[in-house]
C-alpha cells in the first residue's frame, strides 16, 4: 500500500520565546510567492497573533536562501478578471493593514528577493532588517499593472514621493545598500546573519514596556496624518496613559534597584 505523503504547511509559526514569534513563508520552490492559499493562511495567523497578549514582537521571513517573498503568484494572474483583481487588491490591503496595526511590533527579516507583494508586505511591518543580498522592488509596471497592496501609499511615506515614483515607474530592482540609504530598510547585515539580527532586535524590543511601545508607535503613526500640534496633543494623551501604568512603577523600581525591569504590559 502506498502511503500519501503529507504536504508541508505553506506558512509556519514558531514561538521563539514567551514574547517572540517567528512566521515563515514556506513556499521556497515558488520563491515564497504570495498565492491565494498563502494569503489565506497568513490572514488566519495574523488574527491569532493579534489576540495573543503574551507576544510582544513577531518576525516574518521566507523559507530557503533565495527569497523573502517574490511577490504575487503570477500563475494566478491569467484567469483574474478586473472585478476579481479589485477584490483581491482590497483583501491584500486589509491583510497588510492588519499586520501594520498588530498590537505587537512586526519585523521583516528580508532574506532575499522581496518584489511586488513581498515588498508591500515588508512595508507594512514596523521594522525591516535586510540581508546584504536582498533585492527589493515594485516591478508591477513591467507586467502592465500597478502595485495593488497599498505599495503606492506606503512607499512614498517611507522614502518620499520622488524616490517612490522612481522605483515604481522604472520597475527597477533596489539593492540592499540603496534600500538602507533611502530608508526603505532599517538595517542591512550579512546574508547568514539576517534572521539572527532580526531575532536579536526582537529580543531587545520585547524587553521594553509593551504598553509604552504600542503607544509610541501610535503616536508616530499619527504624525503622518496630522499637524505637529494635533500629533503633540495625542502624544501627551498617550504619555498620561503610561503614567497610570504598572509598567512605569516597575521601570522606576528597576532603575533604582539597578536590575532589569520585568514589564507586564499593564
Catalytic option among 120, 177, 235, 256: 120
User: How far is the C-alpha of 111 from the C-alpha of 36, rounded, in Å?
Assistant: 22
Contact residues for 177 (Cβ-Cβ < 8 A; gap 6+): 132, 188
DSSP-assigned letters across all residues of 166-205: HHHHH---EEHHHHHHHTS-SEEE-GGGHHHHHHHHHHHH
Residue identified by cell 500500500 is 1
H/E element, 108: strand 105-110
> Is 178 a known active-site residue?
no
Cα of 118 vs its chain's centroid, Å: 10
User: How far is the C-alpha of 5 from the C-alpha of 142, rounded, in Å?
Assistant: 38
Which candidate, 105, 106, 109, places its Cα nearest to that of 197?
A: 109
User: How far is the C-alpha of 136 from the C-alpha of 260, rounded, in Å?
Assistant: 38
H/E element, 232: helix 228-242
Catalytic option among 140, 229, 250, 257: 140
Q: Which own/partner contact pairs does 9-17 have at CB distance under 8 Å and 24+ positions apart?
A: 9/41, 10/35, 10/37, 10/38, 10/41, 11/38, 11/41, 11/42, 11/45, 12/63, 13/45, 13/48, 13/49, 15/55, 16/59, 16/199, 16/202, 17/203, 17/206
> Is 246 a known active-site residue?
no
Catalytic annotation, residues: 120, 140
Amino acid at each position: 500500500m502506498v502511503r500519501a505523503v503529507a504536504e508541508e504547511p505553506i506558512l509556519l509559526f514558531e514561538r521563539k520565546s514567551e514574547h517572540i514569534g517567528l512566521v515563515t513563508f514556506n513556499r521556497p520552490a515558488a520563491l515564497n510567492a504570495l498565492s491565494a492559499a498563502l494569503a489565506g493562511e497568513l490572514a488566519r495567523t495574523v488574527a491569532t497573533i493579534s489576540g495573543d497578549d503574551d507576544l510582544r514582537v513577531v518576525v516574518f521571513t521566507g523559507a530557503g536562501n533565495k527569497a523573502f517573498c517574490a511577490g504575487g503568484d503570477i500563475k494566478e494572474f491569467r484567469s483574474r478578471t478586473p472585478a476579481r483583481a479589485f477584490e483581491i487588491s482590497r483583501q491584500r490591503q486589509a491583510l497588510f493593514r492588519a499586520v501594520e496595526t498588530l498590537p505587537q511590533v512586526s519585523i521583516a527579516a528580508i532574506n532575499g528577493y522581496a518584489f511586488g507583494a513581498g515588498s508591500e508586505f515588508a512595508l507594512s511591518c514596523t521594522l525591516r532588517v535586510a540581508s546584504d543580498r536582498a533585492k527589493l522592488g515594485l516591478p508591477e509596471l513591467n507586467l502592465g499593472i500597478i502595485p495593488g497592496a497599498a505599495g503606492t501609499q506606503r512607499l512614498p511615506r517611507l522614502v518620499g514621493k520622488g524616490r517612490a515614483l522612481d522605483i515604481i515607474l522604472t520597475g527597477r530592482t533596489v539593492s540592499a545598500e540603496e534600500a538602507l540609504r533611502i530608508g526603505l530598510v532599517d538595517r542591512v547585515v550579512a546574508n547568514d546573519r539576517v534572521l539572527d539580527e532580526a531575532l536579536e532586535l526582537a529580543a531587545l524590543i520585547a524587553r521594553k514596556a509593551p504598553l509604552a511601545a504600542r503607544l509610541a508607535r501610535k503616536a508616530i503613526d499619527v504624525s503622518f496624518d496630522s499637524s505637529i500640534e494635533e500629533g503633540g496633543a495625542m502624544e501627551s494623551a498617550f504619555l498620561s496613559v503610561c503614567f497610570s501604568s504598572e509598567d512605569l512603577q516597575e521601570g522606576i523600581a528597576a532603575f533604582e534597584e539597578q536590575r532589569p525591569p520585568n514589564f507586564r504590559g499593564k
